[in-house]
Structure 1
């Protein structure tokens, strides 16, 4: 009987935790009036279920959590490469508004998990290098370094942080659906503006110019009708499907492997310099920038308030 239901397409879709909330969340984010059209929420179920499952899979694939502290800064090539100095670890945490808000709500939290994103750069610089027993100066080296450290989705457990990250990925995909629809609305505005301009030209047209302008107006009216028809709420499900049934096209994680020495210098693995292969995971499509991401674990941290940071800055200036 189950096989017959599957063959006839009568078997119910598998239950996905949080799907009902995800559909409502997505529709509210794009156009709340979609709840009033026929077939809601059924017509959005397939695409939004795909987006939710993909977002959770993507969040689960984010590496980590890695411990970030003074010990791992010394022992881990990966952690050492992420920060310009060991003191910058604390600065990065204190600069995060999400971490400050979390610390304000959980002042006694001993362990914090969060998503950290950074911009990865490479530059050529002169440095020192030990070749055999001789130290060579002014050697061209390819340095790997990171800027714009951002800490988001802090929580008390890895599981909670990954779920928060999954929902942020989901929201990004839904925003792309909204952006697709907004582009069509802008196209309609542009076409109507062009129609008014053509109508004014037709009003002043001569017998020689009128036929070409009339043909252009006919073509423009056809384009406008197509765009207006596509803006009917009943057509929005196609926009959800266009983005959410192929989410990896818009949001994904790509890996880059590098062989780094103790100082963050990129080398070839056969050069003989001490180091190790480090995997960087880059989040593609979240915004216009490319972010290297990892889950981090912080223990026994003190996130300074803005007032504390300002007071410390004044003290440094006074020295």
Structure 2
């Protein structure tokens, strides 16, 4: 199985999955964590219930993602969600133009021909206590305690021409995120013996390689790697782990971690509604104040304390400014 391909085919209804999907999800759960679990008798039976539960959760999570919002220059001035998340229309379009995932998609034949692209925006919400100016009665007062809300680290995931295809990709990403959390727990298990420490290091390398391949919702510090090269690296790590071998107790502990992570999917990875009352400067206001705008967003959380605001968008590529050629720009000054 190629770990960078999706096990979902679209149109899955909660609780009603073809056997092929369940079997593929079990295979992915093993290959995405510790492939040596294949050595354990009964591993498929142990994982079947947790895998189905995780698929249920993933399907419900993605189905609850709102309808994509048109995100253009005109819409930025009309929709308070866009105005809150992006400081200006130019800032928004500039972020789109610099996003590596969107840029890579638009370079494909499908993306180059697209009149509109659907994708999921992720951003971090930051709240700061500040002292600002405010109108109290008919007087302007200084140094008034306020809470300023801002959004940083904007990035786009799973750009597609079709919304249904984007949701299919998000299901894969959400399921894989649960596996990445399980792999992280396996890699963090305290070990003492030298051979177990070597296993832990290899599992950490595997987790890093999967993250570089855009396997989860986590941000990476590098551009996505070539899937073929990453699969080669993952195969090498798997072979090294197999060569090390392990005792039955360690493998059963790893199987338990994977099963528990999937069986507790809703406690490992979930979305909450974020209801904000902000003025035009993104300062928190009481809902009844005239300057307050109600902004309802969805925020993703995971068990490691990570949280990201998500907003599905529909983008018109023709509105995106061309990426600046820094080499050509530098040559103009030489």
TM-score range, shorter chain: 0.7 to 0.9
Residue 61 (structure 1) aligned with residue 64 (structure 2)? yes
- Work out whether 1:166 is the aligned partner of 2:177: no
Closer, same or farther in 2 for the Cα pair 1:285/1:268, shift >3 Å?
A: same
Contact kept? 1:100, 1:304, Cα under 8 Å? no
Distance in 2 between the 1:172 and 1:118 partners?
17
Q: What is the alpha-carbon distance in structure 2 between the residues aligned to residue 146 and residue 27 of structure 1?
A: 36
The within-5 A match list for 1:37-186 is 37-105=40-108, 106-125=111-130, 141-184=146-189, 186=190
CA–CA distance in 1 between the matches of 2:274 and 2:73? 25
**2:112 aligned counterpart, secondary structure:** coil
| Residue aligning to 1:25 | 28
Q: Deviations over 1:162-217 (max 9, x none)?
A: 12111111111112222333334x42437989xxxxxxxxxxxxxxxxxxxxxxxx
In the aligned structure 2, how far is the partner of 1:164 from the partner of 1:287?
Answer: 23
Alpha-carbon separation, structure 2, partners of 1:62 and 1:19: 23
Shift of 1:22: 1.6
Tell whether the 8 Å contact from 1:280 to 1:292 is kept in structure 2 after alignment: yes
1:284-314, Cα deviation, whole Å (9 max, x unpaired): 12865421111111124355665x3426865
Cα distance change on mapping 1:46 and 1:142 into 2, 3 Å: same
Gaps spanning 5+ residues in structure 2: where? 1-14, 198-245
1:23, CA displacement in angstroms?
A: 1.7
CA distance in 2, matches of 1:143, 1:126: 10
CA distance in 2, matches of 1:26, 1:269: 45
Give me the whole-angstrom Cα distance separating, in 2, the residues matched to 1:163 and 1:103.
19
Asked if 1 retains the 8 angstrom alpha-carbon contact of 2:94 and 2:321, the reply is no
Answer 1 or 2: which has greater helix percent.
1
1:246 and 2:264 correspond:
yes
Deviation >4 Å, runs of 4+: 124-141, 190-193, 302-306, 311-315
Partner secondary structure for residue 181 of structure 1: helix
Segment drifting more, 297-306 vs 274-283: 297-306
1:230 aligns with 2:245: no
Q: How far is the alpha carbon of 1:71 from its aligned partner?
A: 1.6
Question: Could you say which structure has the larger radius of gyration?
Answer: 1
Matched residues in 1 for 2:328 and 2:279: separation?
34
Distance 1:178 1:147 in 2: 27
Change (3 A) 1:170 1:192: closer
* Structure 1: tracts of 5 or more residues without a match: 1-12, 194-226
Q: State whether residues 64 and 294 of structure 1, in contact with CA within 8 Å, keep that contact through their aligned partners in structure 2.
A: no
- For 1:232-284, what per-residue CA distance to the aligned partner results, in whole angstroms no more than 9, with x for missing partners? 3x5543222211111122111122211122332221022x3233311132211
Residue 77 to residue 313, structure 1, CA distance change in 2 (3 Å) = farther
Distance of aligned partners of 1:135 and 1:70 in 2 relative to their CA distance in 1, 3 Å threshold: farther
TM-score, normalised by the number of residues in structure 1: 0.72
